[in-house]
Amino acid sequence: MKPLFKGKHFITLQEWSKEQIDTLLDVSKQLKEEFYSNKDTTYLKNKTAFLMFFEQSTRTRNSMEAGLAQLGGHATFLDTSKMQISHGESAKDTATILSSYGHGIACRNCFWGVGNKYLREMAEHSTVPVMSLQDDLYHPMQGLADLMTIQEVFGEKKHIKVSIIWAYATSHKKPISVPLTQILLFPRYAMDVTLAYPEGYDLPDWAIEQAKQNALDGGGTFRITHDMKEAFQGADVVIPKNWGSWVNNQSDAVVDDLLESYRGWKCTEEMIALGSPEVKYMHALPADRGNEVEDSVIDGPHSIVYQEAENRLHTAKAVMAMTMGNK
């Protein structure tokens, strides 16, 4: 498999053309078929990637580690609290050194106002592709897997009604990177996207303007509502997920009066019933069960969260296969 995008950084899908994303999706589908057929996929034999995590991870870490192993390479997990980063080593020095040791660097850094800047500084000084495993603004690996999942379910159908809906959660103050990535990506594929959230949980103005432009360019639509029921009404796909009030409030506090005032923003069977007859429930996981969503919904017939999670493996493999190669 030729690494068509050899050396290209993967920090946001906004910097990849639709044609390039389509290629990643095609490769993801091929790799998924080969995975099920138990075919040899050692396209990155003896290649090494360094996986840097500033935060916890389940799907992202394991999809990358398992994925690179299945591609014939080796992934080195790096807990940044155990690296010299914790003593102040710069992104430049870290990237320069690690890129001289292997063929790819992947990093998760979700600290508000820091994460994306950190990844871009690494990319500036790395001689190998830098892949985002999520930052404070973007989660391209998740966005690609979400898009693949929607295409598997709906095919090439246009004007799918997708509602990205804020939901109540108390587990931690979550980044805005998943919904922000989705509102930028889905309109490029002629989807009709609704963003629903209560007052105070805004996404950045520049992201909203870009989503509107992407809808114009891609043949989709984009709108905002502050009415949860309106967002569920007639939707083909609902993605009820919490995100923090980072744009308006940079406090690290998880629970505050604003959050508690919106406990009713929850995905229930009553809400699901407002969607189209075959409405699909999606979530990047982990879901805050009992708060964001009822068990009967996430475990019910409308849920495709495990298909979505599995596709994290195949899309991660596609990104690595297409960007990592001989120096």
**Which tokens is 86 given?**
């914790």
What angle is formed at CA 2 by the lines to CA 92 and CA 11, rounded to 5 degrees? Answer: 35
Predicted local distance difference test score (pLDDT) of residue 325: 76
Is 289 within the bounds of a domain? yes
Instruction: Evaluate whether residue 52 is within a structural domain.
Output: yes
Both 106 and 213 in one domain: the answer is no
Q: Are residues 149 and 291 in the same domain?
A: yes
The two three-digit tokens of residue 134, written as one number? 């999520």
- The span from the CA of 83 to the CA of 213, in Å, is 41
| Residue labelled with tokens 């598997």 | 152
Residue 179 sits in the same domain as residue 304 = yes
Domain housing 27: 13-139+311-323
Single-letter amino acid code for the residue at 189:
Y
Tokens matching residue 259: 């959050």
Q: Are residues 90 and 154 in the same domain?
A: no
Q: How far apart are CA 160 and CA 140, in angstroms?
A: 21
Q: Are 303 and 133 in contact (CB under 8 A)?
A: no
What's the total number of domains in the chain? Answer: 2
Do 153 and 290 lie in a common domain?
A: yes
Let me know if residue 2 belongs to a domain: no
What are the start-end ranges of the E strands in the chain? 48-53, 74-79, 104-109, 130-135, 161-166, 192-196, 221-225, 237-241, 280-281
The DSSP secondary structure of 218-232, one letter per residue, reads HT-EEEEES-HHHHH
Task: Check residue 1 and give its pLDDT.
Answer: 73
Q: What is the pTM of this model?
A: 0.97
Claim to verify: residue 30 and residue 89 sit in the same structural domain:
yes
Is 17 part of a structural domain of the chain?
Answer: yes
38 within some domain: yes
Q: Are residues 20 and 100 in the same domain?
A: yes
Per-residue pLDDT tens digits of the chain, which is 327 residues long: 777 899 999 999 999 999 999 999 999 999 999 999 999 999 999 999 999 999 999 999 999 999 999 999 999 999 999 999 999 999 999 999 999 999 999 999 999 999 999 999 999 999 999 999 999 999 999 999 999 999 999 998 999 999 999 999 999 999 999 999 999 999 999 999 999 999 999 999 999 999 999 999 999 999 999 999 999 999 999 999 999 999 999 999 999 999 999 999 999 999 999 999 999 999 999 999 999 999 999 999 999 999 999 999 999 999 999 999 754
Q: The dihedral of CA 120, 126, 127, 128: what is its sign?
A: negative
**pLDDT (0 to 100) of residue 154:** 97
Question: Cβ atoms within 10 A of the Cβ of 208, count?
Answer: 17
Contact 105, 99 (CB under 8 A): yes
- Is 178 in the same domain as 120? no
Residue 3 resides in a domain? no
Question: Are residues 158 and 300 part of one domain?
Answer: yes
Position 7 in a domain: no
Give Cα 291 to chain centroid, integer Å. Answer: 21
Please measure the distance between the N-terminal and C-terminal CA atoms of the chain and give it in whole angstroms.
Answer: 16
Q: Are residues 97 and 170 in the same domain?
A: no
Query: Where residue 19 sits, what CATH number does that domain have?
Result: 3.40.50.1370
Same-domain pairing of 315 and 245: no
> Measured between alpha carbons, how far is 139 from 250 in angstroms, rounded to an integer?
20
> Residue 83 has which token pair?
């690296």
Instruction: State whether 181 and 270 are in the same domain.
Output: yes
User: Helix, strand, or coil here: 131?
Assistant: strand
